[in-house]
Structure 1
Amino acid sequence: MASFYLENMMVCIILGFKALYMSLLFVAVTSSSATIPKVFDVQSYGAKGDGKTDNTNAFTNAWKDACAYNGRSRVYIPRGTFYLGGVTFKGPCSGKISFFIDGTLLAPSNNDDIKSDTWISFQYIDYLTITGSGIIDGQGKESWPHDECYKHDKCPLLAMNMGFDFVNNSRIKWITSRNSKAGHFNFFNVDHFNVTDVTITAPGDSPNTDGIKIAFSSNVQISNTHIGTGDDCIAILSGNTNFDIYNVTCGPGHGISVGSLGKSKEEKNVEGITVRDSVFTGTIAAVRIKTWESSASTIAISKIVYENIQMVDVESPIIIDQTYCPFPPCEKAGDSHIQVQDVTLKNIWGTSRSKVAVNLECSKSFPCKDIQLIDINLKNNGPGGPATALCENVKGSARGTMVPPSCLN
């Protein structure tokens, strides 16, 4: 009798373990199916990676199906060279969506064939990921000779490689952007956006090829990224707040700039920008704030930090320019009305190609205030003797190592 009860007990235990195992297996399978995205391969929609077939329709159709899918989805671009005309990918989407590029996306060499100011545009999307080992090739070489924006502001706009409008809680990782006709990545009205491990390249003499341009955005992180281009590595424009930019290498290029600002009446304040732990090599500028001299707007640039910055033969390592005039001669209709305040420049060292290594040229009507220089060590590698500092209309303080000697009172 005892053995009978023992056998029954063992059977119950085994059945219990089996039930528990099946339950755990069901949870694991369900969980797995919930986390693995459904793949929408552009080749299944007729895309050809031969470098000449226009794949715009195939990409658009793959996006529409992926965006409508009720769950995690992935638009997949395999290895190959996929020629793509101007295209816009719109949301909102039903779930989290990724755009996974393993191949090369090739723009039309003729800017007129894109018919837009942005070659590849993403709009009104939450939880978007752009990733993969692929390349976005803007084929800008043919268009650069026709860019006369450095002469006047009435020039026709060339297409940027990729743009994001009203895209939130999203990220770009690992992608390479090269030879854009104009800027590489443009962000407008994005929130909680992460750019990491991205490579951006164009020749140093390619006009207006900003690496990253951002306006009216918040909570942006840019890290572990290399940018070498013909204009600003990063241009932080109107209405931006709460940026953390770190481990960026910039060169060639015009530095990481706040501005230019003051050209438009619709501009908003810029606040809470940190640039840290970065290296500038052979750039025209590095630490840079620039506002138009005769500004149309009256806004503030505040709570700006540049910290732990290395300069390697930079032409103008530190510059605040409130007489910005990219299309000289400029008609002078008054001083800049942009208030630059609460700016900290800390632990900045290296070499300058010009004698004036620190140039703080602020507005007479709205002098810069609360400018802090802490541990600056910049040596002149060019002609003219030791590095110097120039200050106009600036109120602030300096402490720690100060090479060149501070010009602040």
Structure 2
Amino acid sequence: MTSIVYAFKTLCLLPLLFIAVASRPTVKPKVFNVKRHGSIPDGKTDNTDAFIRVWSRACGRRSGSSKIYVPKGNFYLGGVEFVGPCKNPIEFVIDGTLLAPENPSDIKQDTWINFRYINDLSISGFGTLDGQGKKSWPLNDCHKNPNCPKLAMTMGFAFVNNSNIKDITSLNSKMGHLNFFSVHYFNITGVTITAPGDSPNTDGIKMGSCSNIQIFNTNIGTGDDCIAILSGTTNLNISNVKCGPGHGISVGSLGKNKDEKDVKDLTVKDIIFNGTSDGIRIKTWESSASKILVSNFVYENIQMIDVEKPINIDQKYCPHPPCEHENKGESHVQIQDVKLKNIYGTSKNKVAVNLQCSKRFPCKNVELIDINLKNNGLEGGPSTAKCENINGSASGKMALQHCLN
């Protein structure tokens, strides 16, 4: 009887407990509206100092989280760095347009908007980062002009962890759009990246020495790699990405510099390449300065629409010959454990699968499964594959003349 009375009392108290919990006030972030802190959205006034003041206040706040809000309007912004560590999580919501200087020399740093040494950073909103790169692109000729000016990337993240960016649009960068260095546990979702197909070196997303990066539901059309994956990057997951125009999703180039690190554990799924120069691409320098491992890659469910080189492993990469290093000869980058499954669509070249590996370090355990790439180029006949110095297998439905046993 005692237990029944106790249970009845407990049931009676539950609604009161629920009301007490539900009535607790939700702690909202303190909002820092940049307009209320001196920023002027006229597209002309330099708001750099005003943005830095807002960041300092938001980052230094000790109780609760902070939210920096950029409302609609055109906010001209010179080169700016937002540096932590911060005392609390930071939301950076951009609904307006941030305008970079047209003159590249007016940005006195490598990256126009740079975030460094920050944890728990969230960048969101339906605004635009306008790099105003059109006047800078003709200056991007460093491969033939040693006195070329240094152009800034649009937005960079260095030593930033447990953070994310979503829904933002990056437009017409001077160089690359989004750059990541030593960033860990970062999500990129719903981002749109746009520049003309003939804009030089405007990589969409570029990362090195990063880990546990997720890229989802993102549209990238640019003049260079849609996504460039560089030395030391591991545990990268890319899915539901549309790429075009551009140079595809590229690993590398690798091996050019000493002390480069392994690249491993890459998953690329549910991708559409439309009119790109490359689709799946791994590129290493023919004469390597470093010996590293590229391993455990999975590419699956990928559509190619008139792609010039749908699948391209190039271990003789040399864009502007001659390319010489201390260790001349074959690439020292070892590629192994690469699975390509359900890759389909059309190729603008008869050779739809190019697997050109290093003679000294042949590719190992490369699997082709269900490859259905049709030749849609000027040269007639069915699609083919080219293999050099590679060990692997082909299985499933193969709609091309493959070269793996």
With the shorter chain as reference, the TM-score category is over 0.9
Separation of aligned partners in 2, 1:329 and 1:384: 30
Distance 1:72 1:396, change over 3 A: same
Separation of aligned partners in 1, 2:282 and 2:24: 52
Larger radius of gyration: 1
Separation of aligned partners in 2, 1:204 and 1:149: 19
Match of 1:271 in 2: 264
Match of 2:162 in 1: 169
Percent of residue pairs identical: 64
* Aligned-pair CA distance for 1:402: 1.3
Q: Aligned match of 2:53 in 61, 76, 95? A: 61
Q: Aligned match of 1:130 in 123, 126, 131? A: 123
Separation of aligned partners in 2, 1:331 and 1:120: 35
Aligned residue pair count? 391
Q: Deviations over 1:150-180 (max 9, x none)?
A: 5478754310000000000000000000100
Distance 1:89 1:357, change over 3 A: same
Q: Aligned match of 2:101 in 92, 97, 108? A: 108
Q: 2:139·2:149 contact (CA, 8 Å) conserved in 1?
A: no
Alignment of 1:182-261 (within 5 A): 182-261=175-254
Distance 1:48 1:375, change over 3 A: same
Q: Deviations over 1:353-406 (max 9, x none)?
A: 111100000001000010000000101111222211100001100001112121
User: Quick check: 1:350 aligned with 2:342?
Assistant: no
Separation of aligned partners in 2, 1:57 and 1:86: 10
User: Quick check: 1:399 aligned with 2:388?
Assistant: no
Alignment of 1:68-83 (within 5 A): 68-69=60-61, 70-83=63-76
Q: Provide runs of 4+ in structure 1 moved above 3 Å.
A: 23-31, 149-156
Distance 1:61 1:285, change over 3 A: same
Q: Give structure 2 stretches of 5+ with no counterpart.
A: 1-8
**Cα RMSD after superposing both structures:** 1.8
Q: Aligned match of 2:368 in 370, 373, 390? A: 373
What TM-score results when the alignment is normalised by the length of structure 1?
0.92
Give SS of 1:402's match. Answer: coil
Q: For 1:395, give the aligned amino acid.
A: N
Give SS of 1:57's match. Answer: helix
Separation of aligned partners in 2, 1:407 and 1:153: 42
Distance 1:194 1:154, change over 3 A: farther
* Aligned-pair CA distance for 1:30: 4.2
Separation of aligned partners in 1, 2:146 and 2:311: 26
Give SS of 1:79's match. Answer: coil
* Aligned-pair CA distance for 1:290: 0.3
Q: 1:152·1:327 contact (CA, 8 Å) conserved in 2?
A: no
Alignment of 1:252-401 (within 5 A): 252-331=245-324, 333-385=328-380, 386-401=382-397
Give SS of 2:396's match. Answer: strand
Q: For 1:42, give the aligned amino acid.
A: V
Q: For 1:237, give the aligned amino acid.
A: L
Q: Aligned match of 2:37 in 31, 45, 52? A: 45
Separation of aligned partners in 2, 1:267 and 1:281: 32
What TM-score results when the alignment is normalised by the length of structure 2?
0.93
Q: 1:124·1:167 contact (CA, 8 Å) conserved in 2?
A: yes
Q: Deviations over 1:36-92 (max 9, x none)?
A: 211001111110110000000110011111111121110100000000000000111
* Aligned-pair CA distance for 1:329: 3.1
Q: For 2:295, give the aligned amino acid.
A: S
Q: Give structure 1 stretches of 5+ with no counterpart.
A: 1-12
Give SS of 1:141's match. Answer: coil
Match of 2:82 in 1: 89
Separation of aligned partners in 1, 2:20 and 2:183: 39
Match of 2:6 in 1: none
Distance 1:225 1:150, change over 3 A: farther
Distance 1:153 1:378, change over 3 A: farther
Match of 2:404 in 1: 408
* Aligned-pair CA distance for 1:328: 2.0
Separation of aligned partners in 1, 2:367 and 2:243: 24
Distance 1:376 1:329, change over 3 A: same
Give SS of 1:345's match. Answer: strand
